[in-house]
């Protein structure tokens, strides 16, 4: 189902008739959805419904899974990113990913954020330092770690590590940020910091999050998509979906009747 007219904006990512299977088992079934620029879209639904599978398709992470079969179309600014001739590295520079658990390298705070800049040869030493510092400041971390950038990143708290992962993602200046349950392992205070960061990121990026926390979806998302058994059941402005769902399955899920 498409977005209602109240949310028709610049289309950043467009998914058309997406089917994904792993080893013959179909996980996504004919999913079509549009993600607007400078909006947060939340993907909700019970475990195993295909939320993370859809999210990972948006920057071609399924290329790393030999038994994955992906058909359909994903357009980024009108360009088909599933095409064989497309440079996957370029896709992932434009579509950044933040995982449920912080996946930092056993390096310093600085080197973690600089990693993508260096491997993609994005700037000289001074420019890289400036971009690292700006990314850390954008993630509300500078006051906490600015005086110890040479210290091991793995010494940071869980919430700080997750914000550092987001800093690493935005340092290369992507256009879309994907977040797969970014607060699942965090305490309530760290969760609120990440949610505030999401709202700030929305000003520059298209943001897509997977969350099991329906209160979180209502707090941060402009639009919410409900998925069930690999299908997109309903997609609408967040307040509409939660307060006047159009589909019985959506209504049952948000009332806790299953999932």
Distance separating the N- and C-terminal Cα atoms of the chain: 21
Is residue 65 a part of any domain in this protein?
Answer: yes
pLDDT value at 194 more than 90: yes
State how far the Cα of 151 lies from the Cα of 145, in Å rounded to an integer.
Answer: 9
In the chain, the number of structural domains is 1
Q: Give the pLDDT confidence score for residue 77 in this predicted structure.
A: 94
State how far the Cα of 55 lies from the Cα of 50, in Å rounded to an integer.
Answer: 9
pLDDT value at 211 more than 50: yes
Is residue 40 a part of any domain in this protein?
Answer: yes
Highest-confidence segment of 8-17, 84-93, 216-225: 216-225
For residue range 118-175, list pLDDT tens digits in order.
988 888 999 999 999 999 999 999 999 999 999 999 999 999 999 999 999 999 999 9
State the residue for tokens 């200046």: 173
Q: Residue 44's domain spans which residues?
A: 5-103+174-254
Mean predicted confidence (pLDDT) in 65-93: 93
Q: Walk across the sheet containing 79-80 and list its strands.
A: 25-36, 11-22, 68-76, 79-80
10 Å CB burial of residue 142 (0-12, 13-18, 19+) is: middle
Q: Give the pLDDT confidence score for residue 84 in this predicted structure.
A: 86
Is residue 118 a part of any domain in this protein?
Answer: no
Record the pTM. Answer: 0.92
Query: What CATH number is attached to the domain comprising 182?
Result: 3.40.50.300
State how far the Cα of 80 lies from the Cα of 72, in Å rounded to an integer.
Answer: 10
The pLDDT-based confidence of 259 (bands split at 50, 70, 90) is: low
Is residue 144 a part of any domain in this protein?
Answer: no
CB 163 within 8 A of CB 194: yes
Is residue 198 a part of any domain in this protein?
Answer: yes
Is residue 122 a part of any domain in this protein?
Answer: no
The pLDDT-based confidence of 9 (bands split at 50, 70, 90) is: low
Reading the block at residue 172, the tokens are 């290369």
SS3 state at 144: helix
Q: What are phi and psi of 198, to 5 degrees?
A: -55, -45
CB 163 within 8 A of CB 141: yes
The pLDDT-based confidence of 4 (bands split at 50, 70, 90) is: very low
For residue 73, give the nearest of 140, 156, 133, 13 by alpha carbon: 13
Q: What are phi and psi of 80, to 5 degrees?
A: -75, 110
Worst-scoring range by mean pLDDT, 129-133, 213-217, 253-257? Answer: 253-257
Is residue 131 a part of any domain in this protein?
Answer: no
DSSP state of 140: T
Is residue 237 a part of any domain in this protein?
Answer: yes
pLDDT value at 105 more than 80: yes
Q: Give the pLDDT confidence score for residue 232 in this predicted structure.
A: 98
């Amino acid at each position: 189902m498409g977005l209602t007219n109240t949310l028709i904006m610049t289309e950043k990512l467009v998914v058309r008739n997406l089917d994904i299977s792993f080893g013959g088992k179909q996980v996504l079934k004919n999913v079509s959805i549009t993600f607007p620029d400078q909006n947060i879209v939340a993907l909700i639904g019970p475990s195993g419904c295909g939320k993370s599978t859809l999210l990972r398709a948006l920057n071609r992470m399924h290329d790393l899974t030999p038994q994955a079969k992906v058909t359909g179309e994903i357009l980024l600014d009108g360009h088909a990113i599933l095409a064989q001739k497309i440079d996957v590295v370029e896709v992932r520079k434009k579509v950044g990913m933040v995982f449920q658990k912080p996946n930092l390298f056993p390096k310093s705070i600085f080197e973690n954020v600089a990693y993508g800049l260096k491997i993609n040869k994005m700037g000289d030493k001074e420019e890289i330092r400036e971009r690292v510092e700006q990314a850390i400041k954008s993630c509300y971390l500078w006051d906490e770690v600015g005086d110890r950038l040479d210290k091991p990143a793995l010494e940071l708290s869980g919430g700080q590590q997750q914000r550092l992962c987001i800093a690493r993602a935005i340092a290369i200046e992507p256009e879309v940020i994907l977040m797969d349950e970014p607060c699942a392992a965090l305490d309530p205070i760290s969760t609120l910091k990440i949610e505030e960061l999401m709202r700030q990121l929305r000003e520059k990026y298209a943001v897509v999050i997977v969350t099991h926390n329906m209160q979180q979806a209502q707090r941060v998302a402009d639009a919410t998509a409900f998925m069930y058994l690999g299908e997109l059941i309903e997609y609408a402005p967040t307040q509409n979906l939660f307060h006047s769902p159009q589909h019985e399955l959506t209504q049952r899920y948000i009332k806790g009747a299953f999932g």
